[in-house]
């Protein structure tokens, strides 16, 4: 009880959250996975209206196949070279970006929304329309993307490029953060664990009993396959990757 370290850390974290979402004037990006990490504390310390707007902004950049981006930045804050930027006619003041080697963007945003709703009880955000579709419909669409375009029928799990640093950097070189001819596809435990959590969140979002059952069954199937293929019973630990096209290591 005499050690005040945790209280000091808590105070510093809260002071930081009061200042917004940017790491600094030169780093004005809003990332889905980062937001998912600190959104609960942000709900206690920051303007909930702005927080809500920041969550909704991601959906303006949802692609035609349902995929979601890593994040976005105010247009005036876009100050780095990136050949694969994204723009939206409904959010002209921002630029979107995505490190395509990773497969946690959709699941990170779903989890962030679930935490926001849990803290604020603002269930209305799921019915909010963005460019003609409700948020819940867009989340369904994002899940459909994962289960079609980033899915292994053989293993019943989602796929991504093999990464090692920050979760979204390839070891092979090349474009480093984007899928290219050097990428080695794999199934990793992190992406699939994130999917399992997000499926439980989707179940909590659903108001229709059949919808709830659909998400529950998907969750059961994914967790079963995680245990079947990614658990090393001999070493009593999870296997980081199943390599689908050879190992880069």
Both structure tokens of 202: 């989707």
The dihedrals phi and psi of 170, each to the nearest 5 degrees, come to -85, 150
Q: Tell me the pLDDT of the chain (249 aa) as tens digits.
A: 688 999 999 999 999 899 877 666 567 889 999 999 999 999 999 999 999 999 999 999 999 999 999 999 999 888 778 888 999 999 999 999 999 999 999 999 999 999 999 999 999 999 999 999 999 999 999 999 999 999 999 999 999 999 986 788 998 988 899 999 999 999 999 999 999 999 999 999 999 999 999 999 999 999 999 999 999 999 999 999 999 989 998
CATH code for the domain of 224: 1.50.10.10
Q: Is residue 249 part of a domain?
A: no
Instruction: Give the span between the Cα atoms of 187 and 128, in whole angstroms.
Output: 34
Helix (H, G, I), strand (E, B) or coil at 213: helix
Backbone angles phi, psi at 224, to 5 degrees: -65, -40
On whether the CB atoms of residues 138 and 205 are closer than 8 A, the answer is: no
Burial of residue 128 (CB within 10 Å: 0-12, 13-18, 19+) is: middle
pLDDT value at residue 24? 61
Residue 154 forms part of a structural domain = yes
What does the alpha-carbon distance between residue 87 and residue 72 come to, in Å, rounded to a whole number?
Answer: 9
In 3-state terms, what secondary structure has residue 36?
A: helix
Q: Is 115 within a domain?
A: yes
How high is the pLDDT of residue 150? 98
* pLDDT of the residue at 244: 97
Q: Residue 191 domain-assigned?
A: yes
- Domain assignment of residue 29, yes or no: yes
| Domain span including residue 131 | 5-243
For residue 173, the model assigns a pLDDT of 86
Domain count of the fold of the chain: 1
Alpha helices in the chain (DSSP H): 5-17, 32-45, 48-60, 105-120, 135-149, 189-205, 209-230
Is residue 121 a part of any domain in this protein? Answer: yes
pTM: 0.95
* 9 CB burial (10 A radius; 0-12, 13-18, 19+): exposed
β-bridge partners, 163: 170
Does residue 248 lie in a domain region?
no
Q: Is residue 141 part of a domain?
A: yes
Q: How far is CA 13 from CA 9, 29, 114, 215, 241, in A?
A: 6, 19, 21, 34, 33
């Amino acid at each position: 009880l005499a050690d005040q370290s945790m209280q000091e850390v808590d105070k510093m974290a809260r002071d930081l959250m009061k200042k917004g979402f940017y790491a600094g004037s030169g780093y004005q990006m809003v990332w889905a996975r980062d937001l998912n990490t600190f959104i609960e504390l942000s709900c206690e310390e920051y303007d909930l209206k702005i927080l809500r707007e920041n969550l909704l902004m991601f959906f303006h950049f949802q692609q035609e196949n349902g995929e979601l981006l890593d994040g976005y930045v105010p247009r005036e804050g876009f100050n780095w070279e990136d050949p694969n930027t994204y723009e939206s006619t409904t959010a002209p003041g921002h630029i979107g970006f995505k490190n395509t080697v990773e497969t946690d963007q959709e699941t990170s945003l779903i989890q962030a929304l679930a935490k926001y709703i849990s803290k604020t009880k603002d269930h209305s955000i799921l019915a909010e329309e963005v460019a003609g579709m409700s948020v819940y419909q867009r989340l369904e669409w994002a899940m459909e993307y994962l289960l079609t375009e980033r899915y292994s029928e053989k293993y019943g799990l989602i796929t991504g490029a093999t990464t090692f640093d920050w979760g979204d950097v390839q070891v092979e070189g090349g474009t480093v953060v984007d899928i290219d001819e050097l990428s080695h596809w794999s199934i990793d435990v992190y992406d699939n664990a994130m999917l399992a959590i997000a499926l439980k969140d989707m179940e909590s979002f659903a108001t229709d009993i059949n919808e709830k059952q659909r998400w529950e069954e998907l969750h059961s199937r994914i967790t079963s396959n995680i245990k079947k293929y990614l658990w090393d019973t001999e070493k009593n630990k999870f296997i980081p990757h199943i390599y689908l096209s050879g190992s880069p290591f």
